[in-house]
Chain A
Amino acid sequence: MTFGTAGIAEFGKALLIPLLAFLLFLGIWEFSAARIQTSLGAVPGPVEVWKQAVNLVDEHREERARQAAFYERQDKRNAEALAQDPSAEVHIRPYTGKPTFVDQILTSLVTVFTGFLIASLIAVPIGIVSGLSQTMYRAINPIVQIFKPVSPLAWLPIVTIIVSAVYVTDDPMFAKSYITSAITVTLCCLWPTLINTAVGVASLDKDLVNVGKVLRLGWFTRVWKLALPAAIPMIFTGLRLSLGIGWMVLIAAEMLAQNPGLGKFVWDEFQNGSSNSLGRIMVAVFVIGLIGFLLDLGMLLLQKKVSWDKEAVLR
């Protein structure tokens, strides 16, 4: 591939301008951070935050190495015991080290997807039904409008208490904190999907509705062949909004519910109050932002794959 002069200029603009802007941002940050003194020392600049990021990755590697060593020792011990006495009872214990930053990222991702999946499974069908039926839409609209603006912090105590009361088992498969966080995410990301699905289904072209009538399509065919494909772009708009909100809500929910994810990481560092804490929290901020961006990008790619209209401009 060859670039003409215009091509190089275009490429430069596409890459150079964002790069310059980012460097400028880092400069302002470094300059002003050093001038703000807190109880934990000066606010960390980009260099300090980068060091903390490297630290967190190193800590993760060390923890994994310790874990591997633990299992190696255990296996060796068990093998020796069996060699002496084949009927010996061997103990296999899981490693109980503290979760690393990477573990916490994974926990957050699993939790947000759980909440998002539950929300989507509820919101899309209800959205379709209320898009098809004016009566259903009227019935559901006030509920949606009232619950839509409610903060996750208001839901959380209710969800916590209900989960504690309802989810009672001797051998819990999931931690309560995980369920509480996921359900709080669900409650907050139901609404954009529901509303957008309903609007998408309801705005089906009138001529297409008439085609369905002339053909006397059954209810199921009408939904499956007409309403749903037509509403796909709107449904995805809703899903993207929902996932974005879900990710934002999750951090707050994890802080309060003590679900071992990024929210808890931020909270623990805040409570810890070491000279590194501010830097480590800032690493979390960047990671949260980057993951949110990648989640949105992922949804966009999924939409491109599912949508019939490959020409549509998606952004």
Chain B
Amino acid sequence: MTIEHLNIDHVTVEFPTPGGTFRALDDIDLVIEKGEFVSLIGHSGCGKSTVLNVVAGLLQASRGGVVLDGTEVDEPGPDRAVVFQHHSLLPWLTAYQNVELAVKTVFRGAKSKAEMRDWIEHNLRLVHMEHARDKRPGEISGGMKQRVGIARALAMQPKVLLMDEPFGALDALTRAHMQDSLMEIHAELGNTVIMITHDVDEAVLLSDRIVMMTNGPAATIGQILAIGLERPRERVSLAASAQYNHYRAEVLKFLYERQRRPGEAKAEAPAEKTAGESPLPQKSPDLKVVRDKAVA
């Protein structure tokens, strides 16, 4: 029997509240292969971050569990590095020192001082931040901070890289740059990545599979879409690709037709129509849509 790389095994998360138990996640079941890039997409409040926190070990599942390479995850650790939405760099340390803190903690005794220095510099180079190594987070732009945050996570040599809307707070151009960098790094290192996103284009462009979540409470996996686009992917040529636009439409349909947020049903009816105007799905022979669960 082969052991799965990462098994999110029937995870249910409940929180006690004064009004009774609140079920945030219901029976999330997902197996991820080594080197796979998986996006979690869904409306805000659907528990995407909760899934990520359970995998990170920052939150305990009420039922079910997470198994990474045959070992159950029960606490946070550097083998599951997290890139947070708001960079979360230590503002009193320079870019270099931020990565250094991670490297010194993770590789204590395993790497010599010189090896650590090389490794820190290598990771800063990987995210194109070697020129700002001695700058503090307050002195660099949002995109640069996020790059350092990614360098810090990569420097831990994680088995799984967890990214919580890493580019959500960035402007569109910077975001595009960051996505290209991330694809480059993923191609080079082959890390397993789980990324939360709100951005449909980002999900289609970067992912091997897109996991679409239903609305909470008791959110679960509504649909999983495998993205069969060739790598390396190039955003400009893909914009005209029928296949790309089909995937995009598929995700949009899930989000805006089947999982329209209950509160938005009336108020945002016109806006919803605009979303529906996106290119119609074209029948494509190599379409790989996996419907895990029936969704009402």
Contacts and interface: CB of A to CB of B under 8 A. Distances in A.
- The reply to whether chain A is a binding partner of chain B is yes
Interface of A: 205, 207-208, 210-211, 213-217, 221, 225-226, 229-230, 308-309, 311
B80 interface: yes
Interface string B95-133: 000000110011000000000000000000000000000
Main SS class of interface, A: helix
B17 to A, nearest CB: 19
Given A214-B56, A225-B101, 20 more contacts: A207-B84, A207-B86, A208-B88, A210-B56, A210-B58, A210-B76, A210-B82, A214-B58, A214-B156, A215-B101, A215-B105, A216-B76, A216-B77, A221-B105, A225-B90, A229-B92, A230-B92, A308-B91, A308-B136, A311-B138
B162 to A, nearest CB: 9
B91 A215 contact: no
A132 B153 CA distance: 25
Contacts of A230: 92
Contacts of B92: 229-230, 308-309
A207 B76 contact: no
A230 B90 CA distance: 9
B76 A213 contact: yes
Of A205, A211, A221, A311, chain B has the most CB atoms within 10 Å of the CB of A211
12 contacts: A207-B84, A208-B88, A210-B58, A211-B88, A213-B57, A214-B56, A214-B77, A214-B78, A214-B156, A215-B106, A216-B77, A216-B78
A225 B102 CA distance: 12
A216 B105 contact: yes
A208 B58 CA distance: 12
B86 A214 contact: no
Nearest to A308: B92
A208 B82 contact: no
Interface of B: 56-58, 75-78, 80-82, 84, 86, 88, 90-92, 101-102, 105-106, 136, 138, 156
A210 B84 contact: yes
A22 B57 CA distance: 63
A309 B81 CA distance: 27
Cβ-closest 7 pairs across A and B: A308-B92, A207-B88, A213-B76, A229-B92, A214-B76, A215-B105, A207-B84
Nearest to B79: A214
Contacts of A311: 138
Contacts of B58: 210, 213-214
A217 B105 contact: yes
A229 to B, nearest CB: 4
A211 B86 CA distance: 12
Contacts of A210: 56, 58, 76, 82, 84, 88
A208 B101 CA distance: 13
A226 B93 CA distance: 10
Nearest to B56: A214
B78 A215 contact: yes
A2 to B, nearest CB: 31
A215 B102 contact: yes
Contacts of B81: 214
A100 to B, nearest CB: 46
Contacts of B91: 308-309
Contacts of B105: 215-217, 221
A153 to B, nearest CB: 42
